[in-house]
């Protein structure tokens, strides 16, 4: 027989040209589904269909659903840097921010939720956390560490705050984020961002007004 053996068809009929492009397509598709359906409601097959690739290719790149979830989130946002996105540009701005720590914390954290490029990752994280204890613990620890690290940088006395304090402020922010961006509860979901800041910041700053305790 002189004819050459027939070549195996491509791994995914809809695979995009180039490994990097295909990988990004999978990450984007995964985030879209994780954000809408949650972790438990999202399947590897569903992600493959949305990304138009063979499911085996997802396993090749990411191993399993947990690996894909974590990489999809980290491709959009660094959970350990949730309070580091607003650079201090001038001495005057540093002074103002030093006088309004609650405003800086609230605006920095919620700016990630307002940004369409990072919101899907955060929604995916919190939807997953609501239904998966291990995910909640992992990302909760990262969030807490980011907040405590931020407190230590802005003012030394904040490092003496009790664990109760360092839990209350994040709980306030996270609770609001879940109601506004994940569950879309009205009127929070439709409230203008600046009006939200006007109402939220005084409640956050109340915690800073209380004396630190041993």
Residue-wise pLDDT for 98-150, tens only, equals 447 788 888 888 888 998 888 888 888 888 877 777 777 777 777 777 777 77
pTM score: 0.69
Please state, in angstroms and rounded to a whole number, the distance separating the CA atoms of residues 120 and 74: 11
pLDDT digits 0-9 by tens, 70-95: 899 888 888 777 776 554 444 444 54
Q: Which residue, 64, 61, 70, 36, is CA-closest to 50?
A: 36
pLDDT at 13: 38
pLDDT at 154: 61
Report how far apart the first and last C-alpha atoms of the chain are (Å, whole number).
Answer: 86
Q: pLDDT exceeding 70 applies to what percent of the chain?
A: 73
Q: Which residue, 213, 211, 191, is CA-closest to 200?
A: 191
The torsion angles phi and psi of 25, rounded to 5 degrees, stand at -60, -40
Q: Is residue 179 within 8 Å of residue 127, measured between CB atoms?
A: no
pLDDT at 159: 47
CA distances from 37 to 20, 46, 113 (A): 26, 11, 18
Identify the DSSP state of 64. Answer: S
pLDDT at 148: 74
Most confident of 129-133, 134-138, 156-160, 171-175: 171-175
pLDDT at 161: 55
pLDDT tier at 18, thresholds 50, 70, 90 = very low
Most confident of 1-5, 153-157, 163-167, 186-190: 186-190
């Amino acid at each position: 027989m002189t004819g050459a053996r027939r070549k195996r068809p491509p791994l995914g009929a809809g695979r995009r040209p180039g490994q990097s492009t295909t990988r990004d397509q999978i990450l984007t598709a995964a985030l879209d589904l994780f954000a809408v359906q949650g972790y438990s409601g999202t399947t590897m097959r569903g992600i493959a269909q949305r990304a138009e690739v063979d499911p085996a290719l997802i396993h090749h790149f990411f191993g399993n659903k947990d690996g894909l979830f974590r990489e999809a989130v980290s491709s959009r946002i660094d959970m350990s840097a949730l309070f580091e996105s607003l650079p201090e540009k001038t001495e005057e701005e540093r002074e103002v921010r030093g006088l309004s720590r609650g405003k800086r914390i609230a605006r920095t954290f919620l700016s990630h939720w307002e940004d369409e490029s990072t919101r899907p990752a955060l929604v995916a994280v919190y939807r997953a956390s609501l239904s998966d204890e291990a995910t909640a613990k992992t990302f909760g620890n990262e969030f807490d560490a980011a907040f405590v690290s931020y407190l230590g940088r802005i003012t030394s006395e904040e490092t003496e705050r009790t664990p109760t304090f360092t839990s209350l402020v994040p709980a306030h922010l996270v609770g609001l984020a879940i109601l506004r961006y994940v569950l879309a509860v009205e009127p929070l979901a439709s409230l203008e961002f600046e009006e939200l800041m006007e109402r939220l910041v005084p409640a956050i700053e109340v915690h800073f007004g209380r004396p630190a305790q041993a």
